[in-house]
């Protein structure tokens, strides 16, 4: 922190840090004045493009002193102003404190004073944070992506990037966005969930957990499906932990989120076009290349396009134990989407042949869903059993049945197991795995 800055205003650093809390701001009698001063100073920052410690002293002496001159501000109010400017120069403006908060999992900026956060599974509006104007939002986005060698401006109105801490950033500017600059940051979780966390929070039952572990050990091909923010990648990470330590695992992602603890893991990540509009490497490119890397398992973070055909090819040509995720609202919807993705590939294959291809590739479909109370649950575990009259047949093994919603908004329900011995149980036993014999006998 710049010492001359603190000397100029006789600020206690620890006190200044405390005064950034929301409760202190609420206590200020004249919030309108603070907002006015804050906006003037930040607009001056934008106009002068102050970004470094080297020019910070001159800016403070000339600009801030001029703007707050004549106002009778308390030390708390001056400290509050100081912290805002410190966040602009040394942090990421209004997002600085949100990015530091480990409990916030997602930040969504829809406008200068329309900011939402996801906290404990709930999306809520953050009324304590705001930008000065659209230009201010763009400035913060540029500051976030410039160290990554990326840019966003009128010529490049969209950016998708992974920040240094692993968080995923997506920003869209007008004219692509009709509401002004839009920013979404999915924050990186340093502490990964494990199967015990899922059991403790009621995401699934011990029987379901043991069954999925056996499926991974038996190298069944698993497709995890769900909506946006349902927890697909988190579940994929948990299931990946069941892979044997001596296997050579290749992970393929748009933005690296999977963190496997096995020793023999190769992580591949896509690349977007450079400034010249060349150099893009897609998920499909990486899937095709991974087949030449002698993988025991291929784990794709998400399939959403032409790479689905190559993933199915891998599953059908001896690369058992592959896992991936997909946006879908049900297991039936997932297979229909897979069929559509293969057709997108432009390969001249009859629909009946595509369905047979899918049927032979996919063993288990796991549906995960985020409910209205913010909790995530595995709502269905289904197996692909074959086909009849050209249609793929699925049978559900486990399910979650919602029974109602309590007055406090909590969703209540029960996990059920169908009175049915799945066909994949024979595959599991054929691998010499007997840990789930008690479940189905």
* Residues 51 and 160 reside in one and the same domain: no
* Residues 170 and 207 reside in one and the same domain: no
* Residues 328 and 381 reside in one and the same domain: yes
Q: What does the pLDDT read at residue 5?
A: 36
Last residue of some domain: 40, 65, 90?
A: 90
Last residue of some domain: 41, 64, 90?
A: 90
Last residue of some domain: 190, 205, 222?
A: 190
Give the range with max mean pLDDT: 43-52, 332-341, 342-351.
332-341
User: Torsion angle of alpha carbons 329, 322, 204, 124, nearest 10°?
Assistant: -50
Q: What is the mean pLDDT of residues 354-370?
A: 94
* Residues 168 and 81 reside in one and the same domain: no
Q: What does the pLDDT read at residue 405?
A: 93
Domain extent for 263: 195-440
Cα-trace Rg, the chain:
26
Q: How confident is the model over 5-64, as pLDDT tens digits?
A: 333 333 333 333 333 343 454 544 455 666 777 777 777 766 666 555 555 556 655 666
- CA–CA separation, 154 and 142 (whole Å): 12
Q: How confident is the model over 256-310, as pLDDT tens digits?
A: 788 888 999 999 988 876 666 677 888 889 999 999 999 999 999 999 888 898 8
CB 114 within 8 Å of CB 133: no
> How far apart are the two ends of the chain, measured CA to CA in Å?
66
- CA–CA separation, 42 and 178 (whole Å): 25
Quick check: bond before 175 cis, omega within 30?
A: yes
Whether residue 329 is predicted with pLDDT greater than 90 in this model: the reply is yes
* Residues 246 and 119 reside in one and the same domain: no
Q: Is the dihedral of CA 423, 425, 429, 433 positive or negative?
A: positive
Q: What does the pLDDT read at residue 150?
A: 83
* Residues 108 and 172 reside in one and the same domain: yes
Q: What does the pLDDT read at residue 69?
A: 67
Q: What does the pLDDT read at residue 189?
A: 72
Q: Among 174, 107, 185, 98, which residue's Cα sits nearest to residue 138?
A: 174
Residue 263 phi/psi, 5-degree rounding, is: -75, -35
**Percentage of the chain exceeding pLDDT 90:** 47
Tokens of 165: 């801490």
* Residues 98 and 84 reside in one and the same domain: no
Q: What does the pLDDT read at residue 232?
A: 93
Q: How confident is the model over 206-255, as pLDDT tens digits?
A: 999 999 999 999 999 999 999 988 999 999 999 999 999 999 999 998 87
* Residues 169 and 265 reside in one and the same domain: no
Lowest mean pLDDT among 276-285, 399-408, 423-432: 276-285
Lowest mean pLDDT among 59-63, 201-205, 361-365: 59-63
Model pTM above 0.75 = yes
Q: What does the pLDDT read at residue 132?
A: 85
**Residues facing 176 on adjacent strands:** none
* Residues 20 and 41 reside in one and the same domain: yes
Number of domains in the chain: 3
CB 321 within 8 Å of CB 283: no
- CA–CA separation, 215 and 242 (whole Å): 9
- CA–CA separation, 134 and 34 (whole Å): 20
* Residues 176 and 216 reside in one and the same domain: no
Q: What is the mean pLDDT of residues 79-101?
A: 82
* Residues 313 and 395 reside in one and the same domain: yes
Q: Which CATH number do you get for residue 112?
A: 3.30.450.370
* Residues 120 and 246 reside in one and the same domain: no
Q: How confident is the model at residue 347 (pLDDT cuts 50, 70, 90)?
A: confident
- CA–CA separation, 339 and 384 (whole Å): 14
Q: Which CATH number do you get for residue 202?
A: 3.40.50.300
Q: Among 200, 150, 144, 154, which residue's Cα sits nearest to residue 177?
A: 154
- Report which of residues 441 and 11 the model is more confident about: 441
């Amino acid at each position: 922190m710049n010492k001359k800055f603190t000397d100029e205003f006789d600020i206690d650093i620890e006190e200044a840090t405390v005064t950034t809390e929301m409760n202190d701001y609420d206590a200020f009698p004249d919030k309108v004045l603070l907002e006015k001063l804050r906006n003037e100073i930040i607009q001056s920052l934008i106009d002068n493009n102050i970004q470094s410690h080297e020019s910070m002293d001159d800016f403070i002496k000339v600009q801030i002193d001029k703007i707050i001159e004549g106002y009778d501000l308390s030390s708390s109010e001056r400290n509050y102003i100081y912290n805002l400017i410190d966040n602009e120069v040394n942090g990421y403006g209004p997002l600085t404190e949100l990015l530091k908060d480990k409990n916030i999992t997602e930040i969504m900026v829809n406008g200068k004073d329309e900011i939402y956060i996801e906290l404990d599974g709930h999306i809520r509006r953050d009324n304590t944070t705001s930008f000065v104007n659209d230009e201010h939002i763009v400035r913060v986005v540029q500051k976030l992506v410039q160290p990554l060698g990326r840019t966003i401006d009128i010529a490049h109105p969209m950016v998708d990037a992974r920040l240094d801490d692993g968080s995923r950033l997506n920003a869209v500017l007008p004219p692509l966005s009709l509401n002004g600059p839009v920013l979404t940051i999915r924050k990186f979780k340093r502490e990964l969930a494990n199967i015990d966390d899922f059991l403790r929070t009621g995401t699934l039952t011990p029987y379901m957990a043991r069954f999925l572990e056996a499926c991974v050990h038996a190298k069944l091909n698993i497709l995890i499906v769900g909506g946006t923010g349902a927890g697909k990648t988190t579940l994929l990470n948990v299931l990946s932990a069941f892979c044997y330590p001596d296997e050579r695992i290749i992970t393929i992602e748009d933005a690296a989120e999977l963190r496997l603890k096995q020793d023999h893991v190769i992580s591949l990540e896509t690349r977007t076009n450079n400034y010249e509009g060349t150099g893009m490497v897609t998920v499909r490119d990486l899937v095709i290349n991974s087949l030449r890397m002698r993988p025991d398992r291929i784990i794709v973070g998400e399939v959403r396009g032409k790479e689905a055909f190559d993933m199915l090819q891998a599953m059908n040509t001896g690369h058992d134990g592959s896992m991936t995720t997909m946006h879908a609202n049900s297991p039936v919807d997932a297979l229909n989407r897979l069929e559509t993705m293969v057709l997108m590939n432009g390969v001249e294959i009859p629909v009946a042949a595509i369905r047979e291809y899918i049927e032979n590739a996919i063993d288990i479909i796991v549906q995960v869903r985020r409910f209205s109370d913010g909790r995530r649950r595995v709502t269905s575990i289904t197996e692909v059993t074959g086909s009849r009259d050209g249609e793929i047949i699925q049978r559900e093994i486990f399910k979650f049945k919602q029974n109602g919603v309590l007055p406090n908004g909590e969703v209540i329900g029960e996990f059920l197991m169908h009175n049915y011995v799945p066909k994949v149980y024979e595959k599991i036993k054929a691998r010499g795995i007997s840990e789930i014999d008690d479940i189905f006998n």
